[in-house]
Structure 1
Amino acid sequence: MASRPKVSEMMLAFDEHVAEQLKATPEVLTTEGEIDVADLFINVPKWRKYAKVSCVFADLAGSTNLRKGRWEASTASIYESAVRPAVVILDEFGADFIDIQGDAAFGLFVGDYSRSRAICAGITIKTFGEQVLVPALHKKWPNDPPETGFKIGCAISDLLGKKIGISGTAHNAPVWAGRAVNYAAKCSQQAQAHEMIVTKPIAEAIQDNEYLFYSCECADSPVELWKDRTIEKVAETDKAGMILSSSWCKRCGDSYSEKICSGSWKRPDLDEFRMSEVKDKYQKVLNFRDSNAKQIRRGIYG
């Protein structure tokens, strides 16, 4: 058996490493275009900076209870059934980087319509969990179905990227410094199964897109699908987010997703609804002005 290094020797070496790293000022290189993991530095004091990276974090709810009353092989099959499709979805929507962390997966999106593609990927993973995964699990175990589904988080920020670990071995991986991954994970932690929570910058993009914010053409009348949600443990600039409980419509999901990912935001079928909203807002302004005028007159002549 090979001899083990002494703890004291490792602490001495790490003390020198920490002092050297904190003394140095790493170079930050602003990088445009797609994220290329092979282009990230290792054992070199250089980081790459990517602007406005959207992150989708998909976490499997109740994963610690999935083994309850089941064989290990059955639990393994549930993980495989759930996580692999989530990764495929992230890839299909053009994620530049994908990572798996236990029962969770996250994807990073940059480039054209990256925010829209990230949002659509999150909704699609949520839809898969609700419309495909859970029904299949209930069919497999009708007497004791697993209580699960995906909890989705989405956030955006600039990110610094670098490989950290041991060069020349398999023991190194990209590290992403910045809010996007951390906040997307916090959003997913605060969601329940089949829910998607997004930070304020993502919410603003959703509110500006009629294909995302309102119910589809199948509804009798347009309904706002997203509700306000305060996100805990994030900065003030991000905490006024929103939450989604619904999934893609089986009839309209394909066409809406395609339009959103190609930059479309205005729905022709909402022209009449849009005009009625404008009229309602204008009427409220007139009513407010009229009420103020009456109060002023009463104050002067009453």
Structure 2
Amino acid sequence: MPDRPPVSEMLDDSERHVAEQLKQTPEVIDTQGRINTADLYIDAPKWRKYPQVSCVFADLAGSTSLRKGRWEASTASIYDAAVKPAVRILADFGADFIDVQGDAAFGLFTGEYSKRRAICAGITIKTFGELVLIPALEAKWPTNPPQTGFKVGCAVSDLLAKKIGISRTAHHAPVWAGRAVNYAAKCSQQATAHQMIVTKPIADVIRCNEYLWYSCACSNEYTELWSEQYVEKVSGKDADGLLLKSSWCATCGDTYCEKICTGSWRRPDVDSKRNLFTYGKYQRVIKFREANGMQIRRGIGG
């Protein structure tokens, strides 16, 4: 164990650090392109600003109860079985940065179609939890299967980034200042297992994409997959979000995901119904906003 200075010395050093930091005006450097944590400052009072970063936050539901009636090794295997695939999915969709926080993981996305890739990553994680993880756990523990699954949140905002901690040691990490990570985590907290909640900037992308908004071509009903969701503890317009309970279709999921991630939005199979869908969706948004005491923003002629 290393030599430890007296508590009074620790507090004196901390006081000097606080005084020094508060005297400075940190420099904010506008940074384009992908996030590279190697470029983040640690000792210098400089923060990088990344525009419109999308965050996906995936949290394992009911994780505190996973140990009930199971050996520690079994609990550990559940964590590894669940969280590692979520991290791999974030990486496969091109997340610039991924962090694991216990039973949760989050990824940050920038660049071309970053919002769409983030949305698809979130849907894929919740689909994995519902259709892969849960059946495997039920097969392993048929009489008392773990009640879990992923709760997913997604949000977007500009982010300030800097490494904070002790340089030239392992005791430092990137810090992300901005709404995206915080709001994505709040969305995840308000979801239940196998659900995904997004804030309004992400919801706006979803509403305009027919591959995301309507049920797939396997059904002739063309059901709206997302429902209006007011996100608690999220300020301003961002709180006017959406909730998803559905997962990727085994038949159409690969094709739809590829279309979404490469910028497509218009589905040929709904061409004849588009005007009717648009009017019905508009009326439902009005009713939702009226029920929640929100201002009604009408379009041209409204």
What TM-score comes out, normalization by structure 1 length? 0.91
**How much does 1:109 deviate?**
0.2
Specify the alignment match of 1:288 in structure 2. none
Counterparts of 1:142 and 1:205, CA distance in 2 = 40
Specify the alignment match of 1:58 in structure 2. 58
Specify the alignment match of 2:92 in structure 1. 92
Answer yes or no: is 1:176 the counterpart of 2:203: no
**Alpha carbons of structure 1 residues 279 and 233: separation in structure 2 relative to 1, 3 Å:** closer
**How much does 1:7 deviate?**
1.3
Number of aligned residues: 281
**Alpha carbons of structure 1 residues 27 and 201: separation in structure 2 relative to 1, 3 Å:** same
Matched residue type, 1:167: S
Counterparts of 2:264 and 2:116, CA distance in 1 = 10
Aligned-residue sequence identity (percent) comes to: 69
Instruction: Deviation per CA, 1:271-298: give whole Å up to 9, x if none.
Output: 11114446889xxxxxxxxxxxxxxxxx
**Alpha carbons of structure 1 residues 68 and 44: separation in structure 2 relative to 1, 3 Å:** same
Counterparts of 1:44 and 1:267, CA distance in 2 = 50
Counterparts of 2:11 and 2:74, CA distance in 1 = 43
Counterparts of 2:186 and 2:81, CA distance in 1 = 24
User: Secondary structure of the equivalent of 2:15?
Assistant: helix
User: Secondary structure of the equivalent of 1:157?
Assistant: strand
Specify the alignment match of 1:274 in structure 2. 274
Matched residue type, 1:62: G
**How much does 1:237 deviate?**
2.0
**How much does 1:8 deviate?**
1.2
Specify the alignment match of 2:215 in structure 1. 215
Matched residue type, 1:44: A
What TM-score comes out, normalization by structure 2 length? 0.91
Q: Structure 1: which 5+ residue stretches go unaligned?
A: 282-302
**Alpha carbons of structure 1 residues 175 and 136: separation in structure 2 relative to 1, 3 Å:** same
**How much does 1:116 deviate?**
0.1
Specify the alignment match of 2:297 in structure 1. none
Matched residue type, 2:176: W
**Alpha carbons of structure 1 residues 42 and 66: separation in structure 2 relative to 1, 3 Å:** same
User: Secondary structure of the equivalent of 1:67?
Assistant: coil
Counterparts of 2:53 and 2:130, CA distance in 1 = 27
Instruction: Deviation per CA, 1:57-104: give whole Å up to 9, x if none.
Output: 000000000011001110010000000000000000000000000000
Specify the alignment match of 2:241 in structure 1. 241
Written as runs of structure 1 = structure 2, the 5 A alignment for 1:127-146 is: 127-146=127-146
Specify the alignment match of 2:47 in structure 1. 47
Matched residue type, 2:254: D
Counterparts of 2:280 and 2:246, CA distance in 1 = 27
Counterparts of 2:14 and 2:187, CA distance in 1 = 35
Specify the alignment match of 1:264 in structure 2. 264
Counterparts of 1:184 and 1:3, CA distance in 2 = 41
**Alpha carbons of structure 1 residues 70 and 276: separation in structure 2 relative to 1, 3 Å:** same
Specify the alignment match of 2:300 in structure 1. none
Written as runs of structure 1 = structure 2, the 5 A alignment for 1:1-302 is: 2-277=2-277
Instruction: Deviation per CA, 1:181-201: give whole Å up to 9, x if none.
Output: 000000000000000000011
**How much does 1:143 deviate?**
0.2
**How much does 1:223 deviate?**
0.6
Counterparts of 1:247 and 1:15, CA distance in 2 = 52
Specify the alignment match of 1:289 in structure 2. none
Counterparts of 1:118 and 1:3, CA distance in 2 = 46
Specify the alignment match of 2:289 in structure 1. none
Structure with the greater alpha carbon radius of gyration:
1
RMSD of aligned alpha carbons = 1.3
